[in-house]
Amino acid sequence: MQQKLLTFLIAALASGAALAAPKTAAPTVAEAERFVAEAEARLKQLEINAARADWVYQTFITDDTEAITAQAGEQKLTAAGELALKARRFKGLKLPEATARKLKLMQLTLMLSDAGDREAFTRLSAGLNGAYGKAKYCPKLADGSTGPCMPLGQLEKILAESRDPARLKEVWLGWHQQAPAYKDRYVEYTALSNKGAREMGFADTGALWRSLYDMPPAAFEAEMERLWQQVKPLYDSLHTYTRYKLRQNYGADVVPATGPIPAHLFGNMWSQSWNNLYPMLKPAASKDTYDLSQTLAARKTSAVDMTKYAERFYTSLGMETLPPTFWDRSLLTKPQDREVACHASAWPLDGQLDVRIKMCITPTAEDFRTIHHELGHIYYFLAYRKQPFLFQNGANDGFHEAIGDTVALSITPDYLKQVGLKEGAVDAGDDIGPLLDRALGKVAFLPFAYLVDKWRWDVYSGKTKPADFDKTWWALREQVQGVKRPAPMTEGGFDAGAKYHVAADTPYARYFLATMLQFQFHRALCREAGYVGPLNRCSIYGNKKAGDKLQAMLAMGASKPWQEALKAVSGEDKIDGQALLEYFAPLKVWLDEQNKQLAAQTK
């Protein structure tokens, strides 16, 4: 999951005085260069101020810290809007490549010229984050009293571990009942966001988001659909197999023979990851009984230990050790004395060495993978810190999410044995169990990652009205993901808002792209390392040749279009799902055979 900082200045405003500025003489190249240099210096300092305020807010959630982060954000957005407007003056001027790209990036923003609008925009943004972070489900007991309130983490634990469908349904509905409390604020926020996008010449905020990928918005939308269709057959096979197994476990009264599967049965609040179902779905003949979570827990692996494992992976590739301030300033465990936003994120506080993680780490296999992912962001920050401020970002936001996940693909049995977390011989022929487990995280995630922004694009365009939020949300969930609501929709519902990235207005297409890119990166780095064999068994741990290839791409930051960055690491300039399909090819064959057998048994 990625930081909210430096996302191409996703919100901004401009002063009325700037809008009324008189015409001046024709601009020159020297003037443009000077403007960019001054703009970068100003934006960098305001970004640092806003980042520090937001860090304090998310690690110490109070009304006061919410107000402080909103104020710092407004100051940053004011400057960004003024500069975006002034950058228009240099349109059409023949400029050096780097200067032209910086001016383009500065204008990929929204802009609110009214002071009241910009104050409301930043206040609503902070308020939505806070409302989500503080939300809890407080069940009503049989005697009419209220039981102990449960935060999201506790509800997720129940979904992961319980196999009582009534209990699963209760906690699923309990969490989704919290989002309507901030639905009106979300509606107001999206209206202001659209207003700002239109002031910068975009049709709406969705069109602005789709313009961040070095291609026209319509072309990006078509590219997302192309990629989804490319991998959909693999997802369909996994979904069918999962249905058969859930139906065997819960019975025909709970799981229908056809149509969408109830959302509360997947072991995850959003049905986006199905890893918690692995014990129910694993191959009967699988020899692998190893459980990384059990090993980590038995060894009392601390949050620092977990992070050290991840750091050692990156340093094994030839990358630098994490700076001392990382260990001093990161939040790695959940404090007991205050509210924090536990959603894992990585932070570049000053564009140099002050990099941090905010994550409530527990000794589980999932968090082991997540901390490897988050350090991917950190090492990206460190790699491009020598770039100018406007290039201190990923080639696109999907790249930023893909780096750590690429590394996590190398968390193979061989890797775990190398670092002392697995004992005994590794059975090279027992691939289906580990592949299925990984597919329950990666392949199961694809349709959800695709549909979140597909839903929001229609919200921003006005095609989906607030009264129809749930109707269109569940139409997409059923059509694309094959998942349905476990109970009838309620009036005024806002189930999409029960997902952090919707409440926080964080674009989600990046995660879909990242899932595609990570397998493409993995295949390229394995080739660079000289690996020959099934792609799913490859680990680049300890291979400095692969590390050099990766580091060279990371150091580019956003200085070039993402197609050039992709080519630098893979030799390809187009995102392609074929690497993902190659990785899971043995599993696809197995799933299709299992589905034939299970279908025959149920006739």
Q: What is the pLDDT of residues 243-265, one digit of tens each?
A: 999 999 999 999 999 999 999 99
Mean pLDDT across 320-346: 87
Going by pLDDT thresholds of 50, 70 and 90, the confidence category of residue 58 is confident
Predicted TM-score of the model (pTM): 0.87
Mean pLDDT across 42-51: 90
Contact 133, 58 (CB under 8 A): yes
Domain chopping of the chain, boundaries: 16-131
335 pLDDT more than 90: no
User: What is the DSSP track for 82-140?
Assistant: HHHHHHGGGTT----HHHHHHHHHHHSS--B-SHHHHHHHHHHHHHHHHHHHH-EE-PB
Mean pLDDT across 238-244: 97
Angstrom distances, CA of residue 452 to CA of 65, 81, 375: 29, 27, 25
Angle between helices 509-528 and 544-556 (to 10 degrees): 140
Better pLDDT: 204 or 59: 204
Would you state the pLDDT for residue 287? 64
Give just the sign of the alpha carbon dihedral 215, 217, 219, 223: positive
In whole angstroms, what is the distance from residue 597 CA to residue 11 CA? 53
Residues 362-420 have pLDDT tens digits of 898 889 999 999 999 999 999 999 999 999 999 999 999 899 999 999 998 889 999 99
Rg of the Cα atoms in the chain: 24
In whole angstroms, what is the distance from residue 304 CA to residue 312 CA? 12
Task: Report the 10 Å Cβ neighbour count for 599.
Answer: 11
In whole angstroms, what is the distance from residue 67 CA to residue 81 CA? 21
Residues 407-453 have pLDDT tens digits of 999 998 889 999 999 887 666 567 898 899 999 999 999 999 999 99
Mean pLDDT of the chain: 90
Would you state the pLDDT for residue 5? 35
Q: 514: phi > 0 → left, psi -120 to 50 → alpha, else beta; which?
A: alpha
Contact 522, 514 (CB under 8 A): no
Mean pLDDT across 133-161: 91
Q: What percent of the chain has pLDDT over 70?
A: 94
Would you state the pLDDT for residue 427? 64
Give just the sign of the alpha carbon dihedral 273, 278, 281, 286: positive
